[in-house]
Amino acid sequence: MKKKIDQAQVRKVAKLSRLELTEEEIEEFTGQLRSILEYVEKMKELDTTGVEPLAHCLPISNVFREDCIKESIGTEKTLANAPQRDGEFFKVPKILDDSSKA
């Protein structure tokens, strides 16, 4: 490995991530990140020629059911337990105020 991660780099990443870290956390994360990068460097030594890339280590497949039209349960039954409703719709609290410009 050409350059090991140091505490200054951890501080920079924390600042960019808007994380407030204590000195103990900076020291701990520096060691952890250094270990991760050393492991990645060690993995680069492996000969992966002819090894097919994997998305998952186990054989998986999607199980599809037949897509068929079924009768709906209806608006009244759907909204029966709604805390509030506005006609045929769920009424939910406003989460954005007018100043958000969203």
For Cα atoms 11, 16, 20, give the angle at the middle one, nearest 5 degrees.
Answer: 55
Average pLDDT of the segment spanning 48-68: 86
Structure tokens that stand for 39 in this block:
């492991």
Mean pLDDT, all residues of the chain: 89
State the DSSP code for 55. S
**Strands, E assignment, the chain:** 85-86, 89-90
**CA-to-CA distance for 32 and 35, rounded, in angstroms?**
5
pTM of this prediction exceeds 0.75 = no
Please give the domain boundaries of the chain with CATH numbers for all domains.
7-43 (1.10.20)
Confidence of residue 102 (pLDDT cuts 50, 70, 90): low
Share above pLDDT 70 across residues of the chain, in percent, rounded to a whole number: 94
